[in-house]
Amino acid sequence: MTSKQLPHEPYNIIITGVGGQGNVMASRILANMLVKKGYYITIGESFGASQRGGSVMSHIRISERSNWSPQIPKGRAHAVIALEPTEGIRILKDYGNPNVILLLNTRPIYPVAVIAGEIEYPGLDEIKNSARDLASKVWFIGASDEAIKLGNPILGNIIMLGALSGVSDLPLENEDFKEVILSTIPPDQLDINLKAYDIGKRKVGLPL
């Protein structure tokens, strides 16, 4: 069984974003890293219309004892990874609580009504203030921008996973990441994924 006791039983993580950001892939990598450590993992995913511009979220439940409901009860997230800024706030509305920690990718993906000029997307400062107001600790990470520098914006999800490994008490080890990611990507993509994971870790040096 596991070497390290979980901070909560079960420990609840939500990864949220917009369809196409690699949300499902991120949740499965995280989950498989923890399965290797002997935990029971339950993932609940929103599918279907999500690829067509909608909000997506994955609920990940980590337990030493059993599988749990694939939907986390309201107000019971322990950590939230937001691949898109306003989606982080959307999640905190339902699953947040004063003790939740939040890792937030700062690059927006505008909904159609915003790009159509019908409604305005909030300023990043406003979102940051809300995030600080609703979570106990927040890390703002320019994951998409870093990923674009690496040559592919989809790597934002891996950067955010790296960031989580840097701030949470979960046993997320580089070796496990390497092994799990290798089973999902072509071998020639390994280096860039490892690099992305490391960037995420480095980005969470200090809570802002």
Q: Rounded to an integer, what distance in angstroms lies between the CA atom of residue 105 and that of residue 88? A: 9
Question: Which residue, 3 or 47, has its beta carbon nearer to other proteins?
Answer: 47
Instruction: Answer yes or no whether residue 143 interacts with other proteins by CB under 8 A.
Output: no
Residue 188 interacting with other proteins (CB under 8 A): no
| # of chain residues touching other proteins (CB under 8 A) | 60
Least gap, CB of 44 to other proteins (angstroms): 5
Which of 4, 8, 65, 93 binds other proteins (CB under 8 A)? It is 93
Give min distance, CB of 172 to other proteins, in A.
15
* Cβ atoms 17, 23 nearer than 8 A: yes
DSSP H helices in 5-123: 23-35, 85-95, 112-115
Q: Is 136 in the site for other proteins (CB under 8 A)?
A: no
Q: Which two tokens stand for residue 38?
A: 């002997």
Dist CA 126 CA 108 (whole Å):
13
Task: Round to whole Å and give the CA distance between 57 and 77.
Answer: 12
Residue 60 phi/psi, 5° resolution? -120, 125
Contact with other proteins (CB under 8 A): which of 110, 182, 195, 198?
Answer: 110
119: tokens are 């409604």
The pair of structure tokens assigned to 60 is 């990940």
Task: Give the nearest distance from C-beta 184 to other proteins in angstroms.
Answer: 10
Binding site for other proteins (CB under 8 A): 18, 28, 31-32, 35, 40-49, 51-55, 67-76, 86-87, 89-90, 92-93, 96-98, 110-122, 126-127, 130, 133-134, 148, 153, 183
